[in-house]
Amino acid sequence: MKVTIYGSGYVGLVTGACLAEVGNQVLCVDVDADKIDALNRGEIPIHEPGLDELIHANMKSGRLAFSLDAKQGVDHGLFQFIAVGTPPDEDGSADLRHVLTVARSIAEHMTDYRIIVNKSTVPVGTADAVRDAVQNGLTERASQGDFDVVSNPEFLKEGAAIEDFMKPDRVVVGTDNPRTGELMRALYAPFNRNHDRVMLMDIRSAELTKYAANAMLATKISFMNELANLAEHLDADIEEVRRGIGADPRIGYHFIYPGCGYGGSCFPKDVKALERTARQVGFNAELLGAVEAVNERQKDVLFSKIHHHFDGQLSGRTVALWGLAFKPNTDDMREASSRKLMEALWQAGAKVRAYDPVAMDECRRIYGDHPALELCETHEHALQDADALAIVTEWNVFRSPDFESLRQHLKQPVIFDGRNLYDPEMLDKSGFSYYGIGRGK
Ligand code: UGA
């Protein structure tokens, strides 16, 4: 089948590469000439395990190509995927400018039946807006075909996106046309393992499903973070509580890890956008507001602990920081807890020596040559002359450090662990001051 994908960002590239891999002819279209040039040279602009190989192999086989030409895109694919960004605007709602620009450009060039698929995370009702934009763009053309608009939200996790696409839990397809539903089912047939993963539903329910999934996951995390903070007041250990509640299959062990807050391009944005959508229809979604507020506060927890440990005397101190990305296996620092922590430390007059296995370039891009930031070549190097170690991302390489050498490098044996990687008792015995999240007083 022929597929066009607008937007060669994270979602567009993963979708394009995976659809090409199972035999489709995929054309990825983007307005950014530098990006398309780079992709045509085989340079992949994002870090995602397995993506480079997949793109290179499918370019070589001729099933995957990149273009700046929207007309070529509209001519090419029966399926027209919109996978452009929907950044939050000032009031937290998703900015649909790019989505609607693509819709208008499809209308401008369309001469035959097309299935327009919303893959971007868009508020409930966007399919209607896309349909209107296309319809309005078509009116003056005689030769236009009919078209359908489908909602097909993505559920990809950064760092595991290829696996998530290739072996989905579910493929949600919102459509009001059963025939289009069957065509979408056929497109996704290669990704069905053992049984059909495609769930056909009405368009608005599909749009809401995307937000509901992310909001539910974010709620689980904020709930655990709230409980972790309470556990500190009660001198209980949240990690024991986590084991205790996770054993109940109705709760489960997934996504109940307390930490220094969730980040990334999805949870913070989507929770805010859903709350905003609720407000627009006159509904006060109280829980969503609380989920976001708890998370914002949680991103300050490590700084508060550091501040408290040093009696507010942070000026002239140096903190070693392990991890910059919002989670392991990505270089993404959007809404990362590391940013709030570094900025608070700088504000208080402290310096940061940071290390991340892949996000150093991204950090350089964001902060340039910040005078109070040194990016170090290894995680051991970051410890040199530091007064304390703070950990914000649970990269595997941080999980089992040589504590003896850690003690020798640090000026004081103090660890602030935002991901509960270590055993407090063991560290206590080894003479460390160890601060986890929710691990007793
Ligand atoms: C999330 C969802 O998990 C995907 O299903 C969804 O498709 C995606 O958003 C999206 O909307 O595109 P992602 O943002 O890549 O994926 O990352 P997650 O693995 O979900 O982690 C998000 C944040 O939650 C990270 O900062 C992580 O450290 C934090 N987290 C996760 C916790 O603090 N505790 C947990 O138990 C789990």
Please check whether residue 398 lies inside any domain of the structure: yes
pLDDT of residue 88: 78
Residue 139 pLDDT class (50, 70, 90 cuts):
low
Q: Which of 245, 264, 297 is the last residue of a domain?
A: 297
**Interface ipTM:** 0.95
pLDDT of residue 143: 55
Residues 74 and 154 in one domain: yes
Q: Name residues whose C-beta falls within 8 Å of residue 73's C-beta, 6 or more positions apart in sequence.
A: 4, 6, 27, 29, 67, 80, 109
Stretch 139-158: mean pLDDT: 82
Please check whether residue 221 lies inside any domain of the structure: yes
pLDDT of residue 127: 96
- State whether the beta carbon of 155 lies less than 6 angstroms from ligand 1: yes
Residues 388 and 245 in one domain: no
Residues 291 and 304 in one domain: no
- Asked if the model's pLDDT at residue 142 lies above 70, the reply is no
Q: How many distinct structural domains can be found in the chain?
A: 3
pLDDT of residue 141: 60
Residues 10 and 103 in one domain: yes
Q: Which of 201, 232, 251 is the last residue of a domain?
A: 201
Residues 180 and 322 in one domain: no
Atom of ligand 1 nearest to the CA of 263: 26
Domain region containing 318:
299-435
| Residue of 18, 28, 260, 266 marked catalytic | 266
Closest residue (by CA) to atom 10 of ligand 1?
Answer: 266
Please check whether residue 206 lies inside any domain of the structure: no
Please check whether residue 254 lies inside any domain of the structure: yes
Mind listing the pLDDT tens digit for each residue in 406-439? 999 999 999 999 999 999 999 999 999 999 999 9
- State whether the beta carbon of 262 lies less than 6 angstroms from ligand 1: yes
Closest residue (by CA) to atom 24 of ligand 1?
Answer: 262
Mind listing the pLDDT tens digit for each residue in 263-298? 998 999 999 999 999 999 999 999 999 999 999 999
Residues 129 and 29 in one domain: yes
Residues 274 and 303 in one domain: no
- CATH number, domain of 313, equals 3.40.50.720
- Asked if the model's pLDDT at residue 168 lies above 60, the reply is yes
Residues 38 and 167 in one domain: yes
Q: Name residues whose C-beta falls within 8 Å of residue 321's C-beta, 6 or more positions apart in sequence.
A: 338, 341, 342, 352, 353, 354, 355, 382, 389, 390, 391, 392
Which one of 14, 158, 391 would you pick to mutate in the ligand 1 pocket, going by the greatest count of ligand atoms within 8 A of its CB? 158
Active site residue 260: no
Q: What is the mean pLDDT of the chain?
A: 95
Residue 7 pLDDT class (50, 70, 90 cuts):
very high
Annotated binding site for NAD(+): 30, 35, 86, 121, 158, 269, 334
Atom of ligand 1 nearest to the CA of 259: 33
Mind listing the pLDDT tens digit for each residue in 79-121? 999 999 988 787 777 789 999 999 999 999 999 999 999 999 8
HSE-CB for 96 with a 13 A CA cutoff: 17
Residues 303 and 243 in one domain: no
Distance of alpha carbon 144 from alpha carbon 85, whole angstroms: 27
- State whether the beta carbon of 321 lies less than 6 angstroms from ligand 1: no
Mind listing the pLDDT tens digit for each residue in 326-348? 999 999 999 999 999 999 999 99
Alpha-carbon torsion 225, 320, 365, 159, what sign? negative
- State whether the beta carbon of 395 lies less than 6 angstroms from ligand 1: no
Q: Which of 297, 328, 354 is the last residue of a domain?
A: 297
- State whether the beta carbon of 172 lies less than 6 angstroms from ligand 1: no
Which one of 214, 227, 254, 392 would you pick to mutate in the ligand 1 pocket, going by the greatest count of ligand atoms within 8 A of its CB? 214
Please give the share of the chain, as a percent, with pLDDT higher than 70.
98
Mind listing the pLDDT tens digit for each residue in 348-375? 999 999 999 999 999 999 999 999 999 9
- State whether the beta carbon of 221 lies less than 6 angstroms from ligand 1: yes
Closest residue (by CA) to atom 5 of ligand 1?
Answer: 155
The overall longest dimension of the chain from CA atoms, in Å, is: 80
